[in-house]
Structure formats: C-alpha cells, structure tokens
Amino acid sequence: MVKSVILAAGKGTRMKSETPKVLHEIYSKTLLGYVIDAVNDTGLADENYVIVGHQAERVEEFVKENYNNAKTVLQSPQLGTGHAVSMVCPYLENFDGEVIILCGDTPLITSDTLKTFIEAHREMKSDITVMSAVFDNPTNYGRIIRNSDGSLNSIVEEKDATQEQKAVKEINAGIYCLNWQKIKNAFSQLKTNNAQGEYYLTDIIEWGNKNGLSVNAHILERNEEIYGINSKLNLAEATKMLTKRTLDKFMTDGITIIDPDSTWIDPQTEIGKDTIIYPSTYIEGVNKIGANCKIGPFAHLRGGVTLEDDVKIGNYVEVKKAHIKSHTNACHLTYIGDSEIGSNVNIGAGTITANYDPLSKVKSKTIIEDNAKIGSNSVLVAPVTIEEGANVGALSVITKNISKWSLAITRAPLKIFEGWVSKKLGK
Ligand code: UD1
Ligand code: MG
C-alpha cells in the first residue's frame, strides 16, 4: 500500500484571509478535501499524513472530522518543504512501501493522474519519481535539469537558477513518489545552503543520484491539474476550470447544458441522461438529478437534493435537502427545503416550505404526497404533511396536516364593493 504526505503547513499570506488556505472551498469542498479525496480515490493508498503548521488547530479539526484514514503532523516552525516531509519520518520508520507527496493547495489533481503516476513509478522500477510538466511560462517553479542523455540531474528553484536554467520549460509539479526505505535517510542530510535558506525537498533528487538510486521524472498530461491556489483570484480561476471539466463530462454523458458559461455545477452532483440545464443555474453539493428533468433558468440547488426522473425545477426556485419524485413540477419562485415530495405534484408559483423556526433554531420537515396540488403563494409551515391528492388553495398558510383528497384554504373571503371607485371619484 501507498501512504501520502500532503503539505499544508504554509501560511497562504496572499489569500488575505482569516481562514487557513487549504480550508478555502470550491463549491462545498475544501481544497485539502479535494487532494485527500483524489489520493483515496486511487484505491492505492491506505493512509494520509497532512503536515500542518499555520492555523494548525483548524486544519487538524477538519481532518479529524472528515477523514478517518488521515492524520495530521505538526511542523513548527516551517523550515521548508524538505523539513515538512521529514516530520513523518518517526511514523514511517519501518514502512516498506511507496510514499507519495502532494500539496494541499492543488485541488484540481485527479485520482486518474495519481494512479498513472504511481504505476509509471512502478513500471520504471524507480526509487524517486517526480511529476514534471512543460509550461510556456515556467516562472516561479523549480526547473527540471536533465543530463545530456536525458536522465534527471536535479531540480533548481527559480531563486537559485542561472539564466540558462531559467530558460528550461520543464518544471517540478511538486508531486513525488518515493520508495520510502531507500530515501528516508535523505531527510536528515538536507542542507539549507540555498537562496531561501530552507530545507528543499527537491534536493532529494541529487541525493538519490549520489546514492545510486533510480531517479526519474514523469510528465503530467494536463497542466491544469497542478494549478496551485495562492490567492482569491486563483480560487475563482480553479472553480472555473473545475466547472468546465464537470460540465464537459456531463455533456459527454448526454446531459444538455444550454449555456456552459453561466452554469455552475458541483462535481459531486450526479445527473441523468437527457436532462436539460438552462442558463444561470447554480448547483452545489451532493445532489442526484434523474433523467429527463428540466432545471432552470436561474435555479439554485443547495445540496442533499434528489430529483427523480421528469422533474421540473424552474426559474427562481431554490431547493435544499429534498427528495422529489417523478413528474413533479415547481416552475416558479419557490423555496423547497427539508421536504419529501411525491410524484405528479404541482407546486404553484411562490410556494414556500417554512422549514426553520428561528427561535428554537429547529428545522422541520414538509411532506407532500403524490398528486397533491399546492396553490400559488402558499406557505407550508413545517412540520406538516399534505396527504395524497389534497389541494391547497392559493395564498394559504398551512399549519396543520391536510388529509387525503381534501381542499385546504386560509384565504380571506373576497369582497367586491360594486361601483366603489366611481363613487369616490364622483362619477
Ligand atoms: C515548490 C517546489 C518547486 C515546485 C513547486 C510546485 C521546493 C523547494 N520547491 O516550490 O520546485 O515547482 O513547489 O508548486 O519544494 N510547505 C510546508 N512547510 C514548509 C514549506 C512549505 O508545509 O515549511 C507547504 C506549503 O504550504 C505548500 C507546499 O509545501 O503547500 C509548497 O510550498 P511552497 O512554499 O509553495 O513551495 P514553492 O516555492 O512553490
Ligand atoms: Mg507554491
């Protein structure tokens, strides 16, 4: 089995935020969450070590709450990437397998790429494999320096590079695969004689060469996968890239997205064939949307939503934590939260499920059974059940359960004062 080490101790100054960098989110998942999930999804790794430092407690809490196969290891002070990885040495003294090293701020890395990378490492019978990439603008990355026969010589950081080295376009992506027992002794031998006075992880390349290890680079296919987040600008850019990736996959799988430029869908959402997503729709979190649904324009799904087949969620409809069965429509201006809705239900324009009591802070459930019809501008005050086939008249406030096939209405009676206006105007 493989173990991963995820570097997440850095400060993230350019985020200008009270939140630790790796806990920033894209849709509803943290940057660190994307990286740990990518490692776990390879199916090759059984344990993850997250190196924490800056705002360690918050990152520790996140890891503990969300991942039972991840541990945090404190690095304090932070003396460089080599120093960061050395923090796991006491834990892996006798571990006889591969360690992959990644950064906690590269959320676009995929499990497929990591799998290919580990497989390449094994096929090459490599002891140290570094992931490299070819960038038109390699500024700020460590450069991959190769010998004349193409073999890997070293990695040189931008700040330590000569003009000639700076011209190299093959860069260090910051992901490594190491045969741990062969490399573990390197960490006590790293030096800080470089421009930044840090212990560079990249120095293990030269160490490996000196110690007769097999040292190789594996070139990354899609450069966007190592896009690192350093600022809110990067965060927005990564969200765009992830969204494009997600929408491209949906369209390939038979889902119609009318305007990918104004559509935002969390990759954790599943969508069935022939569903149409209309422009300006925002779908966040884990949702399951069936086949042949119509969503939007201007719809907002907030997570925990299951829509069965042939459901219509129209403009200005917000849905959160709800199960809606087939052939049900909520076409306009509605909020549905904490609800279970049957099939063939019609939810009129302006319907609100009032699920939250701000005094007790309790959220309650609304149940609407098959074939029920909810008139426009109604408020269903949860907990409440509208039984099968019942009708709710427009503008009603429903505070009690409505039994099967009944009509419920709370509207004040209509009064008509004939000629009232003309009398006022003296006509
Ligand atoms: C590093 C690589 C560089 C590579 C680039 C890819 C080194 C010396 N350089 O440079 O070759 O092209 O990544 O993005 O490794 N961190 C810690 N503890 C520390 C220092 C850093 O946990 O003491 C973490 C940071 O939070 C970050 C990661 O390690 O997640 C990388 O550190 P960073 O300072 O960004 O390294 P770069 O200068 O970008
Ligand atoms: Mg960096």
Average pLDDT over residues 130-135: 98
The chain-wide mean pLDDT, for the chain, equals 97
Residue 402 CA, distance from chain mean position: 40
Is residue 245 domain-shared with residue 212, that is, in the same domain?
Answer: no
Is residue 301 domain-shared with residue 356, that is, in the same domain?
Answer: yes
Query: If you search the block for the tokens 């559509």, which residue do you land on?
Result: 263
Q: Of 121, 218, 327, 332, which is the active-site residue? A: 332
- The number of folded domains in the chain is 2
Residue 254: predicted pLDDT:
97
Average pLDDT over residues 20-32: 97
9-18, 50-59, 284-293: range with lowest mean pLDDT: 9-18
Whether 373 is in a domain gets the answer: yes
Is residue 103 domain-shared with residue 192, that is, in the same domain?
Answer: yes
Whether 423 is in a domain gets the answer: no
Is residue 217 domain-shared with residue 308, that is, in the same domain?
Answer: no
Number of helices (H) and strands (E) in the chain: give both, helices first. Answer: 9, 33
Whether 318 is in a domain gets the answer: yes
Average pLDDT over residues 265-274: 98
Q: How far apart are CA 278 and CA 113, in angstroms?
A: 32
Q: Measured in angstroms, how far is the CA atom of residue 228 from the centroid of ligand 2?
A: 7
Length of the chain: 427
Terminal C-alpha separation, the chain: 92
Is residue 366 domain-shared with residue 278, that is, in the same domain?
Answer: yes
Residue 277: predicted pLDDT:
98
Q: Which domain holds residue 286?
A: 232-408
Whether 341 is in a domain gets the answer: yes
Is 88 touching ligand 1 by the criterion CB < 6 Å? no
The dihedral over CA atoms of 416, 419, 420, 422, expressed in degrees to the nearest 10, equals 150
Residue 363: predicted pLDDT:
96
Is residue 219 domain-shared with residue 261, that is, in the same domain?
Answer: no
Residue 270: predicted pLDDT:
98
Average pLDDT over residues 383-404: 98
Predicted confidence (pLDDT) per residue in 168-216, tens digit: 999 999 999 999 999 999 999 999 999 999 999 999 999 999 999 999 9
Domain boundary (169, 191, 226) is at: 226
Average pLDDT over residues 11-34: 95
pLDDT band at 11 (very low <50, low <70, confident <90, very high): confident
CATH code where residue 12 lies: 3.90.550.10
Average pLDDT over residues 77-83: 97
Residue 356: predicted pLDDT:
95
Residue 34: predicted pLDDT:
98
9-13, 206-210, 415-419, 422-426: range with lowest mean pLDDT: 9-13
CATH code where residue 310 lies: 2.160.10.10
Q: Measured in angstroms, how far is the CA atom of residue 238 from the centroid of ligand 1?
A: 19
Whether 415 is in a domain gets the answer: no
Is 172 touching ligand 1 by the criterion CB < 6 Å? yes
C-alpha to C-alpha distances, 149 to 90, 145, 146, 172, nearest whole angstrom: 37, 11, 8, 19
Report the atom number in ligand 1 closest to the C-alpha of 155: 11
Examine the pLDDT at 427 and tell me if it is beyond 90: no
pLDDT band at 259 (very low <50, low <70, confident <90, very high): very high
Q: CB-based burial of residue 419 (10 Å sphere; 0-12 exposed, 13-18 middle, 19+ buried)? A: exposed
Is residue 180 domain-shared with residue 238, that is, in the same domain?
Answer: no
Report the atom number in ligand 1 closest to the C-alpha of 230: 35
Using only C-alpha atoms, what is the Rg of the chain?
Answer: 28
Is residue 74 domain-shared with residue 154, that is, in the same domain?
Answer: yes
Q: Which two tokens stand for residue 426?
A: 């003296």
Report the atom number in ligand 1 closest to the C-alpha of 79: 23
Is residue 212 domain-shared with residue 253, that is, in the same domain?
Answer: no
332 is catalytic: yes
Is residue 263 domain-shared with residue 367, that is, in the same domain?
Answer: yes
> What whole-number percentage of the chain has pLDDT above 70?
100
Examine the pLDDT at 389 and tell me if it is beyond 90: yes
Is 7 touching ligand 1 by the criterion CB < 6 Å? yes
Whether 424 is in a domain gets the answer: no
- Cβ neighbours of residue 247 under 8 Å, at least 6 residues apart? 257, 260, 263, 265
pLDDT band at 290 (very low <50, low <70, confident <90, very high): very high
Is residue 43 domain-shared with residue 183, that is, in the same domain?
Answer: yes
